Structure 1
Amino acid sequence: MCRWLAYAGTSVVLSDLLYKPEHSLIDQSLHSRMGVETTNGDGFGIGWYGSDAGTPAIIRDTGPAWNNRNLREIAGHVRSPLFFAHVRASTGTAVQQTNCHPFRHGRWMWMHNGAIAEFHRLRRDLSLAIDPVLFPSLEGSTDSEVMFYLAVTFGLDQDVPGAVARMAGLVERVGRDEGVEYPLQMTIAVADGERMWTFRYSSRHASRSLFCSSRADAIRALHPDLDFLRGVSEDTRLVVSEPLGDLPGVWNEVPESSYGVVQPGWDEFRPFKPEPV
């Protein structure tokens, strides 16, 4: 499957998080410790919001992240208060640019780790549930992109947790109608330029790993020598598929079957449950 990183808070240069940590996302693309696969080399992508917090910019490529000179060059010069980064291990769909994460629609950005079980059997019914107005925007062949456009169909603009819950409910219903016992496995990040939501859920209730950073002031008290944390706000948060290092007190496992929202002033985690459609 995949590894991803989502950041929201004080504006930073992307390379400070993509390359500098001991177990950075670039390191994870070669040496994942908690993923299904050790190597995540089937493409990568980064997406970020500029100062106007409008439509995000996205770059994606089919090669591995660990030796991409363009990624290193861009990451060293782009600064953003909210960005996503993803390294891909395909679950069976083609290695092509349109299948790399993150995905974008308007101001929305989305990335996923996990899979819809037996997606080749469920793909038609799930795709037909996408709003016909949105269907031409579907570019690739992944379950992740279908999940995104289903969430948009089910009201992502108005109610992010509700839209994702209805998407998950549909996937589980269609899957079980086809005899798939555990249809859904997902950790998801979604953002609109101002807020970021993260989800951890699976039909088996044994979801892929996901961690959130502690408050910046608490980390500074424990590790005053961390250069990255100097000057960042208390609102700053990282959500990652696996920790970027082994420092105690920095990383907290996201609870099973939960979602979190990160926005200026506060953040919280709440229970997540699929909703019937």
Structure 2
Amino acid sequence: MCRHLAYLGPSVALHELVVAPPEGLYRQSWAPRLQQYGTVNADGFGVGWYAEGDPVPARYRRPGPIWADEGFADLARVVRSGAVLAAVRSATAGCASGEAAAAPFAAEQWLFSHNGALPDWPDGLGALAALLPPAELLNLTARTDSALVWALALHHLRDGAGLDEALAATVHEVAKHSEGRLNLLLTDGSSIAATAWGDTLCYRTAPGSVLVASEPSDDLPGWHRLPDRSLLLADLHGVTVSSLT
């Protein structure tokens, strides 16, 4: 499994989102409180963010644990953004290692993360892979279950689906072929879509901002936990939660 977050709101330093919170993503890399599968998220990490006026996000990803990366400490201190997606990784057995396997995955204006696993990876997922055109299957960004899930979501996005529609369609497709856990997180820098399917997902709003995360980054009030098998769509105007069943 993994832990991840997405943020929209006033420009803030990455450090304030990822590192500074007492139970934030940085600490969740070695001491998550609500993670139901696995105990340490040390198989890579990544942060993606949007600069003002540029619809294509930047990324910083590494194959090792976030706490061991001195470069990220400097980057997080000075880089500011009003739209961020970040993740720490606990790799699924049999999946590739390395930077390319770490979320967030990216294409055009989108950033994506998968908190979960497909337990029958890779041999039991031939029917699922067959849903993709051969060229898209050959262009998987990494040999991982998460990269396959991302390719399915990206296929829907490029066909014109909205963020929430793309995630809902992907979850339903995967669920037909696997008993996997599918907490997905997707943003285009203006909206966030997310699914709770097999693990925890929470959100908190404040005037002009929204934070979606695998688990609360502090013990302050205002956190809402999504029911399992639900879909979230959020922007700076509000949050909508609907059922995926």
Do the two structures share a fold, i.e. TM-score over 0.5? yes
Q: Residue 111 of structure 1: which of 110, 113, 117 is its match?
A: 113
Structure 2 Cα separation of the partners of residues 131 and 235 of structure 1 = 40
Read off the aligned partner of 1:239 and give its amino acid letter: V
- Give how far 1:19 is off: 1.3
Distance 1:124 1:268, change over 3 A: same
- Distance, in Å, in 2 between the alignment partners of 1:106 and 1:140 is 17
CA contact (8 A) 2:49 2:83 kept: yes
Q: Is the 8 A contact 1:168 1:184 kept in 2?
A: no
Distance 2:126 2:98 in 1: 20
- Aligned partner of residue 124 in structure 1, secondary structure: helix
Q: 136, 154, 166: which one pairs with 1:134?
A: 136
AA aligned to 1:209 is: T
Task: Work out the CA distance in 1 between the residues paired with 2:47 and 2:167.
Answer: 22
Identity of matched residues, %: 30
SS in 2 for 1:158: coil
Amino acid at match of 1:139: T
- Identify the match of residue 227 of structure 2 among 243, 252, 255: 255
CA–CA separation in structure 2 for the residues paired with 1:245 and 1:264 = 21
Cα shift at 1:68:
0.8
- The letter for the 2-side match of 1:74 is L
Gaps of 5+ in 1: 176-182, 202-206, 217-233
Shift of 1:121: 2.0
Q: Secondary structure at the match of 1:80?
A: strand
Q: 1:53–1:193: 8 Å Cα contact kept in structure 2?
A: no
Q: How does 1:7-22 map to 2 (within 5 A)?
A: 7-22=7-22
Cα contact 1:3–1:29 (8 A) shared by 2: yes
Deviations 1:200-230 (A, max 9, x none): 12xxxxx2111111x32xxxxxxxxxxxxxx
Matched residue SS, 2:170 = helix
2:217 equivalent in structure 1? 244
For residues 54-112 of structure 1, give each alpha carbon's deviation from its aligned partner in whole angstroms, at most 9, with x where no partner exists. 11111111111012111111111111111011111111112211110000011111001
* 1:12 aligned counterpart, secondary structure: strand
- Deviation above 4 Å: which 4+ runs of structure 1? none
The CA deviation string for residues 108-146 of structure 1, in whole angstroms up to 9 with x for no partner, is 110010111212223333223223443343120111111
How many angstroms does 1:164 deviate by? 2.1
1:191 equivalent in structure 2: 187
Deviation per CA, 1:133-183, whole angstroms, max 9, x where unpaired?
A: 4334312011111111112223464333332222222222233xxxxxxx1
TM-score w.r.t. length of structure 2: 0.92
Aligned to 1:5: 5
Structure exhibiting the larger radius of gyration computed from Cα positions? 1
- Structure 2 residue ranges without an equivalent (≥5): none
Q: CA RMSD in A?
A: 1.7
TM-score w.r.t. structure 1 length?
A: 0.82
Count of matched residue positions in the alignment of Structure 1 and Structure 2: 242
Note the 1:199-210 alignment, pairs <5 A: 199-201=195-197, 207-210=198-201
Question: In the TM superposition, what is the alpha-carbon distance from 1:192 to its structure 2 partner?
Answer: 1.1
